[in-house]
Structure 1
Amino acid sequence: MATRARQIRRAAPLIAPALIVLAIVIGYPILRAVWLSFEANRGLDPSTGLFVQGGFAGLDNYLYWLTNRCMSPSGAVTTCPPGVLATDFWPAVRITLFFTVATVTLETVLGMIMALIMNGNYRGRSLVRAAVLIPWAIPTAVTAKLWQFIFAPQGIVNSMLGTDIAWTTDPWAARFAVIMADVWKTAPFMALLILAGLQMIPKEVYEAARVDGASRWQQFIRITLPLVRPALMVAVLFRTLDALRMYDLPVIMISSSSNSPTAVISQLVVEDMRQGNFNSASALSTLIFLLIFAVAFIMIRFMGADISGQRDTEKREIPVIGLIRRRLRKAEETTSDKVAAGKETFV
């Protein structure tokens, strides 16, 4: 304990500058956004008829988004009429969650398949790994434009299928197009993280399973999935947090309007800032931050997405080592029996 405390005292002056810089770069914008969220937007004062800077507004900005609470020109509190940005909040939340669940699920499945292929031992494996990572290396804006051309009214998809589907205007067709583009771009990222987990699995475990007569499917279910689970959960965590703040792909590919069929929460923040409502936009940014924080907490606390990896490593080291030891012990016993049998035959 004394040694550990001495190590901490020695390390503190070394990491203090980095922590201070992170506190300034990360902490100040968060605190500033929270502070602005409690300030009123610049608007018309009903009593004087003049524009005022704002002032302390309490929870008004949060109620504006969560309950569609607006202020009438006379100063009375009413429900926001259609066309006000707050009326698009809950539809945007549903679309964001739908995109998150759909894209992360498909990317996890495809990422696992690609990782297993890249983990194989065959000629040209390096070329396959490089080719798989190309979509992930392409900028999102370029990806959005590429898939916009593919799903255009006279694009490749309609030409190949012989249809005239309005991929950019029909609600469900537009959502499907965004999901396809996002999966194509980000599945290689999932594959890269899962591949790192597959590389950590000892080869001796698969050799022991083959000795026992386990099939490839049994090896995948009983060995690969349990041992790659920590890396898989971290990949799902990172991708989920990234999908919750999606912005550029649906905006460039479909529309930047807040009432489009693919509008996500981040679009409302940008649109509110364009209208000059920086304080209510700060409140919405704070809500997005709380949503992402809650999802990350649930996944780390209850779903086993341990970023440090220490807890999962301790859990899986024992069965793996035990399995290897049992195989070695069995091999030693078999060798001893053969030696004893040879001696008896000789005698």
Structure 2
Amino acid sequence: MEDRAGSGRSRVLAVKSNRRAFWLVAPTMAILAVVIGYPVLRAVYLSFQAERGINEDTGRFEAGGFAGFDHYLMWLTQRCGDVTCPPGTLGADFWPAVGTTFFFAVVTVSIEACLGLWMAIVMSRSFFGRSMLRASVLIPWAIPTAVTAKLWFFIFSENGIANKMLGTDIAWTTDPWASRFAVIIADVWKTAPFMALLILAGLQMIPKDTYEAARVDGASAWQRFTQITLPLVKPALMVAILFRTLDVLRMYDLPAILSGTSGSTPTTTVSILVVADMRAGNFNSASALSTLVFLMIFAVAFVMVKFLGANAVRTQENQRKGASL
């Protein structure tokens, strides 16, 4: 009887605790539903509506009505009406913008992961001035992206520091490949410290005894790095790569300030294309493009969490089991 009474009181306490947690979280969830949920649903609704225009029968400016998947098909098939969108139009720039976006994501995240791992390993060591180094590394990441882009815009200008130091006259902001490299350099300079700090947090969780035991067993520095550091820091590394990949896939301000927002530049990303379409007054087709961007980012995040995240967790569990044995 006492056990039943005790279990009954436990259930009552659990219900009360859950209710208290619900009422604490409910205001935040309500605000997020209004601030985030409504705009997302509104954008999806507008993506299925035709653009506003002049009604030939009444001569009035009216809504276009239901358009179905016309806007989505226009972006995906690059067909404006019954013909292929001519070069230079926003409809013809969708797939090149997607390719540019993924190019930036692969190159910048790869460089930032390698550079961030090296920086984290250096900052994890004990030496004089380590605290000052960790604080100074935060400076590029703390600078607003718009300020960073304007800074590098002056560096890569025709008479900027880059051309003066290299003794060249490269058009860093207009040349097809030079402008891409300019965006990559600026993005790596700004966000590699972010990767380093996330990876450093993972390195701090590795027990020092593990390295000492490896040294006693005669393991070299490379063996300690490949057999201890990389496997144990992999979960933190995967989180850093995931965050940065999702961030790069929606990149806008850095390439927009460096190379412009016309929609047909070599550094045009999908987010720049969305803004360019909105400035052209095509709010409904821009809503469809925004929805496609959301689905693209969601698919990438799902794949990375499903496969890379699961592998990281499995590796960590195997390491723990091996240590216990």
Q: By the TM > 0.5 criterion, same fold?
A: yes
Q: 1:268 to 1:188 in 2, by over 3 A?
A: same
Tell me the TM-score normalized by structure 1: 0.85
Q: 1:292, 1:127 → 2: CA distance?
A: 36
Question: Is structure 2 residue 87 aligned with structure 1 residue 70?
Answer: no
Which letter maps to 2:100? Answer: I
Deviations 1:210-257 (A, max 9, x none): 111111111110000000000000000000000000000011111111
Deviations 1:86-118 (A, max 9, x none): 111111111111011010000000000100011
Q: In structure 2, which of residues 193, 196, 199 is the aligned counterpart of residue 191 of structure 1?
A: 196
Which letter maps to 2:120? Answer: A
Q: Where do 5+ consecutive residues of structure 2 fail to align?
A: 1-6
Q: 1:21, 1:51 → 2: CA distance?
A: 35
- Kept after mapping to 2: 8 A contact 1:233/1:305: no
Question: Is structure 2 residue 249 aligned with structure 1 residue 239?
Answer: no
Q: 1:264 to 1:62 in 2, by over 3 A?
A: same
1:74 is aligned to none
Which letter maps to 1:20? Answer: A
Q: 2:313, 2:27 → 1: CA distance?
A: 27
Tell me the TM-score normalized by structure 2: 0.91
Q: In structure 2, which of residues 199, 203, 206 is the aligned counterpart of residue 201 of structure 1?
A: 206
Deviations 1:111-148 (A, max 9, x none): 00100011011111001111111111111111111111
1:124 is aligned to 129
1:335 is aligned to none
Q: 1:257, 1:10 → 2: CA distance?
A: 51
Q: 1:161, 1:83 → 2: CA distance?
A: 33
Q: Mean Cα displacement is larger for which, 118-127 or 48-57? A: 48-57
Q: In structure 1, which of residues 292, 301, 304 is the aligned counterpart of residue 306 of structure 2?
A: 301
Q: CA RMSD in A?
A: 2.1
Deviation (angstroms), 1:150: 1.2
2:322 is aligned to 319
Q: Which has the larger radius of gyration?
A: 1
Structure 1 residues 214-225: aligned runs within 5 Å? 214-225=219-230
- Kept after mapping to 1: 8 A contact 2:235/2:313: no
- Kept after mapping to 2: 8 A contact 1:234/1:305: no
Deviations 1:35-59 (A, max 9, x none): 1110111134566766432111000
1:15 is aligned to 25
Of structures 1 and 2, the one with the larger relative CO (CA 8 A, separation 6+) is 2
Q: In structure 2, which of residues 29, 32, 38 is the aligned counterpart of residue 28 of structure 1?
A: 38
Q: Mean Cα displacement is larger for which, 287-296 or 138-147? A: 138-147
Q: In structure 2, which of residues 142, 146, 150 is the aligned counterpart of residue 145 of structure 1?
A: 150
Structure 1 residues 92-171: aligned runs within 5 Å? 92-171=97-176
2:50 is aligned to 40
2:257 is aligned to 252
Q: 1:288 to 1:222 in 2, by over 3 A?
A: same
- Kept after mapping to 1: 8 A contact 2:148/2:186: yes
Q: Where do 5+ consecutive residues of structure 1 fail to align?
A: 72-76, 323-347
Q: 2:322, 2:230 → 1: CA distance?
A: 14
Deviation (angstroms), 1:313: 5.1
Query: Secondary structure, in 3 states, of the residue corresponding to 1:165?
Result: coil
Q: 1:238 to 1:28 in 2, by over 3 A?
A: same
Q: Mean Cα displacement is larger for which, 153-162 or 167-176? A: 153-162
